[in-house]
Structure 1
Amino acid sequence: MTSQGAHAGPDVVEDVFEGLATGIEVEDAGTAGEPVIERPWNPAQIRVTTSTFSLRNILDQIDEEALELAPDFQRGQVWKANQKSLLVESLLLNIPLPAFYFAEDRDGAFHVVDGLQRLSTLYEFVRGRGFPLKGLEYLHDVEGLRFPDLAVQWQRRINNTQLVINVIDPTTPPDVMYDIFKRINTGGTPLNAQEIRHCMSKPRSREILRRMTHSNTFALATNGLTDHIRMNDREMALRFAAFWLLGLDAYMELPVMENFLMHATQLLDDPERCPDARVEAMEKAFTGAMENAREVFGEHAFRKWPMGSEGLSPINRALFETWSITLAAYQLDDLSPRKHEIVNAARRRMARDIEYLNSVTSSTSDRRRVSYRFEAAAEDARAGL
């Protein structure tokens, strides 16, 4: 969850998840950050069917890759051992589980929308590595046992458990589907926007973002942000991809960050609209931007660093998006001789330009503020020319 208690300098609030600082500044996207869809929803656009399947059938679909559990999802596996065991005990006690939501794509594949942690836990226990049951409240006779160790009748009860599945039809518009996802997203800690996009996306875009954030240049530029617990590393890479592929003008036409990033995700997932050569060029530009950012700003890259302040602030996503795109247009041997002038220009702006500070702090999705911070970064990058 987000906390307002972790401060890292003036006008900087660091996001906190489960009591730990995340290294990312809290972002106030403002009302412009909310997706815009037809309201009220047109009922004809919302198609959700309900069916009942046995757990065995669902696990078979996972094995057959007809149902995807959003691989490479960092936060999806953080339940404690006793939480997992209590879920299994619920099945053994014939306690019905809450309904699951799946999204069907146009290729006929299914993605888990709601219930990812529960389904991942059950798959792990029955078909995966397994884990010993511990901390049970009622069935103490099976304490310490794994699935293969259970009596046949217990195994049969688990496999025959009936699950209620709501399936969102692929004809549902993506923006409506995204909003449905946000509404029915349950659990102790709701998924954030990038985690939702990850679950809705296809392997192609996930692999592209994984490569970008697992590069040495990204790790150096962000002081090791790779595999961020809330997937903020993937969101930052996606922001670069969105503005690099679609351009600032495209955002000005539809100034809603969540929609913009969802459209970019769909573009990356479509090899016809975004062929491999285009992706390769984008990743090369991203690598260059990360090298340039580290060379110019050092450990303060993508962080607020006004004149008079030497503390290391958390990474600011608005700064990342604008400076990464700006620096991608330059060669390292051009920037290196001018890096002190560029740094001084950027730090003076952070100390004196209130409009600029606002553009990277509050209502960051507002089109005027997005435009202003891009213009400012472009101007500061020319310092010393």
Structure 2
Amino acid sequence: MAMDGTQTTPDVVEDVFDGHATGIEVEDLGDDSTRIQRPWNPDQIRVNTSQFSLRNILDQIDEGSIEIAPDFQRLQVWRTDQKSLLVESLLLQIPLPAFYFAEDADGSFRVVDGLQRLSTLHSFVRGGEGGFALGKLEHLDDLKNMRFSDLPVPFQRRINNTQLIVNVIDPATPRGVTYEIFKRINTGGTPLNAQEIRHCMSSPRSRGILHRMTHTNAFATATGGRLTDHIRMNDREMALRFAAFWLKGVEAYQERPMMELFLMDATEMLDDPKQVSDEQVAALEAAFERAMIHAHLVFGDHAFRKWQKHDDHYRSPINRALFESWSMALADPEYTSADLTERRASIVQAARERMTTDFTYLNAITSSTADRVRVSYRFEAAEMDAAAGL
């Protein structure tokens, strides 16, 4: 508590990745375990081990039989030296760690573990001018600055003929178990976060929906231009959270209060046009854009950020819990821009007062944010404050 008796905000910690601030507040979900809650039939869990040449794998990628999620932004953070050392390992005939693929019902594959390695090798061998030249090498200095096409033919052949061990998760394996496997074997240089895992497991339909939702002027303006194409895919997670609550409702979350599973279920829904029709997708995207426009109209540069009454000049990083609850509240079609403009001062006053004096609310947007009681509290609070001045 501050000297003047006002309630202070719990420490706001901005997430950092690779030494750079991400613009997103670190979230404490609390006990949001996605452990499988009941035993599964071992006969349903099938992981088969196969061996493929790198040439065969790259051919399947080019044919579209292997999905490597081309819009996965974080792959770009690998430095040329890191990529070069991976290629050098193949040239030195050093075996690579096993890859994991998940097989779909149609026989296509998604890369579960090894996405960065495989993308790097595809870029080097098949990237053409869009690929890269070898940088730092520890043993084969004579090959520095060479592209694949510049390599002596024996070295090209050695790379193409490299045998890769691939563990293939059978399509009959339950989706939740596949997700659990993904989390357990997620051992790359920089482990994937939950949204990056969902992205790799999802289909083009849901990825396209989330991409469109986060590539509008309204979203960029409401989030200060820092989230679009976010390096940790936090922009897609924000849009997915809105979609999950818009499609399923807070009540559905109360029945199964685990955020990661809730979002994974929503991803599956978006991937299936039988569950979410194209008409529903259009309505979802319209509601999301309406929420973004209204959020900036009401809160300006402080949209989705903690904003206490004594913090007029400090702008906090974006808070996920505030984003999901306030975006849902402001997506209400009964609210118009004219109405919100007229009531803006009342809404802002109510929201800032709550963030200053309501410690239960501060907890609900700061710690154990996946707790069912705290989820309900912040959603109800946002709905109440959005109606201020009516």
TM-score computed with the length of structure 1 as normaliser: 0.96
The answer to whether structure 1 residue 316 and structure 2 residue 319 are counterparts is yes
The answer to whether structure 1 residue 372 and structure 2 residue 373 are counterparts is no
Residue by residue over 1:32-81, the C-alpha shift from the partner in whole angstroms, topping out at 9 and shown as x without a partner, is x2214145554223211000000000000001000011121010221111
* Segment drifting more, 282-291 vs 125-134: 125-134
Aligned residue in 2 for 1:201: 202
How far apart, in 2, do the equivalents of 1:194 and 1:107 lie? 24
Give the gaps of 5 or more residues in structure 1.
1-8
Secondary structure in structure 1 of the residue aligned to 2:181: helix
Matched AA of 1:253: E
Matched AA of 1:92: L
How far apart, in 2, do the equivalents of 1:143 and 1:283 lie? 48
Matched AA of 1:244: W
How far apart, in 1, do the equivalents of 2:149 and 2:230 lie? 34
Matched AA of 1:136: L
* Aligned-residue offset at 1:11: 2.1
RMSD over aligned Cα atoms? 1.3
Secondary structure in structure 2 of the residue aligned to 1:15: strand
Aligned residue in 2 for 1:3: none
* Aligned-residue offset at 1:142: 1.5
* Aligned-residue offset at 1:212: 0.5
User: Is the CA contact (8 Å cut-off) linking 1:222 and 1:315 kept in structure 2?
Assistant: yes
Aligned residue in 2 for 1:363: 368
User: Is the CA contact (8 Å cut-off) linking 1:77 and 1:117 kept in structure 2?
Assistant: no
Matched AA of 1:331: T
Matched AA of 1:104: E
Aligned residue in 1 for 2:126: 127
Aligned residue in 1 for 2:221: 220
* Segment drifting more, 157-166 vs 100-109: 100-109
The answer to whether structure 1 residue 169 and structure 2 residue 174 are counterparts is no
Residue by residue over 1:282-322, the C-alpha shift from the partner in whole angstroms, topping out at 9 and shown as x without a partner, is 10010100000000000000000011112000000000000
Residue by residue over 1:200-230, the C-alpha shift from the partner in whole angstroms, topping out at 9 and shown as x without a partner, is 0000000100000010000000001111110
Out of 303, 308, 315, the residue aligned to residue 301 of structure 1 is 303
Give the gaps of 5 or more residues in structure 2.
1-8
Out of 326, 329, 346, the residue aligned to residue 326 of structure 1 is 329
Q: Which runs of 4+ in 1 moved over 3 A?
A: 38-42
* Aligned-residue offset at 1:132: 1.4
Identical amino acids, percent of aligned pairs = 70
* Aligned-residue offset at 1:107: 2.5
Q: How does 1:34-73 map to 2 (within 5 A)?
A: 34-38=33-37, 42-73=41-72
Q: How does 1:70-85 map to 2 (within 5 A)?
A: 70-85=69-84
* Aligned-residue offset at 1:172: 1.2
The answer to whether structure 1 residue 351 and structure 2 residue 361 are counterparts is no
Aligned residue in 1 for 2:236: 234
User: Is the CA contact (8 Å cut-off) linking 2:10 and 2:366 kept in structure 1?
Assistant: no
How far apart, in 2, do the equivalents of 1:46 and 1:272 lie? 26
User: Is the CA contact (8 Å cut-off) linking 1:75 and 1:230 kept in structure 2?
Assistant: yes
Out of 262, 266, 280, the residue aligned to residue 264 of structure 1 is 266
How far apart, in 1, do the equivalents of 2:148 and 2:56 lie? 17
What is the aligned length? 377
Aligned residue in 2 for 1:156: 157
The answer to whether structure 1 residue 29 and structure 2 residue 24 are counterparts is no
User: Is the CA contact (8 Å cut-off) linking 1:36 and 1:256 kept in structure 2?
Assistant: no
Secondary structure in structure 2 of the residue aligned to 1:247: helix
Aligned residue in 1 for 2:19: 19
Secondary structure in structure 2 of the residue aligned to 1:191: coil
How far apart, in 2, do the equivalents of 1:39 and 1:249 lie? 23
Secondary structure in structure 2 of the residue aligned to 1:101: strand
* Segment drifting more, 87-96 vs 34-43: 34-43
Matched AA of 1:350: M
How far apart, in 2, do the equivalents of 1:358 and 1:181 lie? 31
How far apart, in 2, do the equivalents of 1:349 and 1:341 lie? 12
Q: How does 1:108-123 map to 2 (within 5 A)?
A: 108-123=107-122
Secondary structure in structure 1 of the residue aligned to 2:116: helix
Matched AA of 2:14: E
Matched AA of 1:112: V
